[in-house]
Structure 1
């Protein structure tokens, strides 16, 4: 395997990882900011108040975007990794 092919495959894999993780990280950030703002406004300092809503938002986002994530990973494997493996690199 040449260095260019290796780095191109690595770049594509990292890009797919970034694209897949953006929805979950965005929802986690938004829910964390909303809960933090709520805690600051009401002076409630409960630890489970930050954990439970953020976890619920992440699980719902993961469930909603699971088809998109699967399609992105399958496309990466079909277009990039399987041809490399089948050539014997």
Structure 2
């Protein structure tokens, strides 16, 4: 039976892996949103697609660049935590 401490530790490490994988995309989305918002405020252009298109392009580009990092992070989490739990290595 899986103990409470092992469960919570695995959950904590899973959440940390999710934060590590989401950080590049979220940080680029934040920076792009701030830059576009400043540009709109300075030029008084209130176009809705101006906020959506650059942010989407930046997110797709960063996702494409950091895909191997995300894959390696997820694989190492599964190999280090989940697979040993399934195989019975928590005892």
TM-score bin (small chain):
over 0.9
Q: Which residue of 2 aligns with 1:83?
A: 84
In structure 1, the gaps of 5 or more residues are none
Alpha-carbon shift at residue 86 of structure 1 (Å):
1.0
- CA root-mean-square deviation: 1.2
Superposed counterparts of 1:4-83, under 5 Å: 4-83=5-84
Which 4+ residue blocks in structure 1 deviate beyond 6 angstroms?
none
DSSP-derived class of the 2:46 partner: coil
**TM-score (normalised: structure 2):** 0.95
SS in 2 for 1:45: coil
Equivalences, count: 89
Shift of 1:87: 1.1
